[in-house]
């Protein structure tokens, strides 16, 4: 049986067990949330993508025209 390694906790488990799981490719919801948190923290930001930061949503704060 093929095994899959959780990208978060490095835990190995039978692939068949998770391929139908909503948490795939993670072993559990907890690891899925950990991965999401890393995304939000910018840990996965790719090199060279910093130019896109120039379009910050914060710009909308300057539009207080009321």
- Give the interface with Zn ion as residue ranges (CB under 5 A): 6, 8-9, 11, 27, 31
| Minimal distance, residue 4 CB to Zn ion, in Å | 10
Instruction: Return the number of the residue (10 or 61) whose C-beta is nearest Zn ion.
Output: 10
Each residue of 26-60: b (16+ CB within 10 Å) or e? bbbeebbeebeeeeeeeeeeeeeeeeeeeeeeeee
| Minimal distance, residue 27 CB to Zn ion, in Å | 4
Instruction: Return the number of the residue (11 or 17) whose C-beta is nearest Zn ion.
Output: 11
């Amino acid at each position: 049986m093929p095994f899959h390694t959780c990208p978060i906790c490095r835990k190995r488990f039978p692939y068949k067990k998770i391929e139908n799981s909503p948490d795939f490719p993670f072993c559990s919801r907890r690891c899925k949330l950990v991965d999401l948190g890393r995304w939000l923290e910018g840990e996965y930001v790719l090199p060279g993508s910093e130019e896109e930061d120039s379009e910050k949503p914060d710009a909308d704060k300057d539009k207080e025209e009321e």
